[in-house]
Chain A
């Protein structure tokens, strides 16, 4: 039985796809059989971030509509054993995904995989609700910014009411807060919400903190999830996040502002 984890946020562009790719990669690197599914129908992007865009033949909608088998649509990751990608369709028909269809796909993936990650589209409409509906756990991606925090709270409301676990009165979905694009320098200056404030407002468990990092754009340029960039702050922060998802206790990093000394400023000693 696989664990189903939805990566969601409400607000767009906060780092869901980046995080889904990075976490899926991290889970697979730790030996877990993992599949990451792009639920963003019409706006396929996970394939680019995972670097497999030229190997997409069939997609989630093809499988649901019976035009392809699951094994034909699953793409095996080039770098990590145990890691598979199920791309989204580029169709403009938003109703191409059905509840029953998604359930069937997840059920059969469940037999073979340890973890199923669902990369949710932005918003709170059907697509986002479908991505979260069957989840056991949710990673709520939040930027230190008012609209992102507010939208995350809306998503928490949906997770608690519009999901299978909620409708069946089963144990609620385990909610995790993932703060991304955190800039300790700006927090130190007082012009960015700090992590304690965000955690207090949303009142859920913090699973990780990813700093604003140049490594993320570098990673997406190359189609190599940032987890592979083991020297980078963001790569390490995602690796920590994965460890915590696996139940390990790992101290928080990259949340404190290191004031550059005059010397390092003069000699340009970068931090990464």
Chain B
């Protein structure tokens, strides 16, 4: 019975892992939906510049553009590794 439970638990996990991964990637996709086409390029180049100074991962950088009626705010978040 224990083994069965174990196997069952293991299988239950694959669908919920799928769900969690999807929630993250879809949230990310949606945040990019209304952004201008140059954003991915901008993000890549910013990452390159930062990497010249600090070793950061691909996902350590988060960039977003918030638009108001009269101006836009470019927000850049970089998680730096503990030095």
A149/B15 contact (C-beta < 8 A), A154-B29, A160-B33, A189-B8 known: no
B82 surroundings in chain A (CB, below 8 A): none
Q: Could you say which of B19-27, B49-57, B59-67 contacts chain A? A: B19-27
A153 surroundings in chain B (CB, below 8 A): 26, 29-30
Interface size grouping (class) on chain A: 10 to 19
**Would you call the interface of chain B mostly helix, strand, loop, or mixed?**
helix
Q: How far is the CA of A149 from the CA of B15 in the complex (A)?
A: 13
B14 surroundings in chain A (CB, below 8 A): 190-191
The A-contacting residues of B in range 20-47, CB under 8 angstroms, are 21-23, 25-26, 29-30, 33-34
Q: Is the CB of A157 within 8 A of B15?
A: no
Interface centre among B11, B12, B13, B22, by most A CB within 10 Å?
B22
Q: Confirm or deny: B58 has a beta carbon within 8 angstroms of a beta carbon on chain A.
A: no
Closest Cβ of chain B to A147, distance in Å, is 10
Interface size grouping (class) on chain B: 10 to 19
Q: How far is the CA of A161 from the CA of B34 in the complex (A)?
A: 8
Q: Could you say which of A44-52, A93-101, A192-200, A215-223 contacts chain B? A: A192-200
Q: Confirm or deny: A1 has a beta carbon within 8 angstroms of a beta carbon on chain B.
A: no
Query: What does the 1/0 interface line of A135-167 toward B look like (CB < 8 Å)?
Result: 000000000011001100110010011000000
Q: Is the CB of B22 within 8 A of A201?
A: yes
Closest Cβ of chain B to A126, distance in Å, is 16
Q: How far is the CA of A202 from the CA of B30 in the complex (A)?
A: 10
Closest Cβ of chain B to A160, distance in Å, is 7
In the complex, the chain B residue whose C-beta lies closest to that of A154 is: B29
A157 surroundings in chain B (CB, below 8 A): 29-30, 33
Q: How far is the CA of A189 from the CA of B23 in the complex (A)?
A: 21
Q: Is the CB of A197 within 8 A of B15?
A: yes
Listed in ascending order, the chain A residues whose CB lies under 8 Å from chain B are 145-146, 149-150, 153-154, 157, 160-161, 187, 189-194, 197, 201-202
Listed in ascending order, the chain B residues whose CB lies under 8 Å from chain A are 8, 11-16, 18-19, 21-23, 25-26, 29-30, 33-34
